[in-house]
Amino acid sequence: MTENQIFEPDARAISYAVEGNGPTVVLIADTDLPIDYLGTLAHILVEEDFRVLRIAAGSASAHDLARSVVDIMDAVGIRDAWLGGHGFGGSVARAVALDFHDRVNGVLLLGVEAGDLTLAEGLPVLVIQGSDDDVTPPANGEALQAAAPDRVSVVSIDGGGHMFPSENVGATSWAIEDYLDWD
């Protein structure tokens, strides 16, 4: 079991855990959820030779948290990664891609929050969404894909609700591995 650690920039405690070796995937949890719910997904990706950094989103703005994500990446020696997140964690991942473009290889969104459709220029985006998600509904991912059809791919988890990253972990990990062409 991977031990959670605390990073404390600007007197804010941010929980994180890092495990594995290989290409790095950063997974940012949804607002107010512990990083442990992404643990099984992380363990599966680690078994497929990825290095996974899980980070708690916290309650600051997406752009404030983007700086914290990069600070944690620096602290654990990660130069660049695929940045992903669930719900608000995905908004943070998008903010990292916008604010620190050179640190991001691509974006993995586990459900898409409604609102701003801005994406970092030139980066590929994978949207994984639960077909029955009522918090980050499939229409949000479809709108993002319509805004940038040349860069955004969408995979739907049939029957998945908002917690599909932990409840449909096999389908979620397969979508990530398949998209990154890693096996």
The pTM for the full model equals 0.91
Mean pLDDT, to the nearest integer, of 46-54? 94
Provide the CATH number for the domain around residue 52. Answer: 3.40.50.1820
Cα 40 → chain centroid? 14
Q: Which residue has the higher pLDDT, 10 or 29?
A: 29
- Residue 65 contacts residue 57 (beta carbons within 8 Å): yes
d(CA 164, CA 120): 25
Report the number of distinct structural domains present in the chain.
1
**pLDDT confidence of residue 133:** 97
Q: Which residues constitute the domain of residue 62?
A: 5-179
Query: What is the band of 183 on the pLDDT scale with cuts at 50, 70, 90?
Result: very low
Q: φ, ψ for residue 147 (rounded to 5)?
A: -75, -25
Q: By percentage, how much of the chain surpasses pLDDT 90?
A: 75
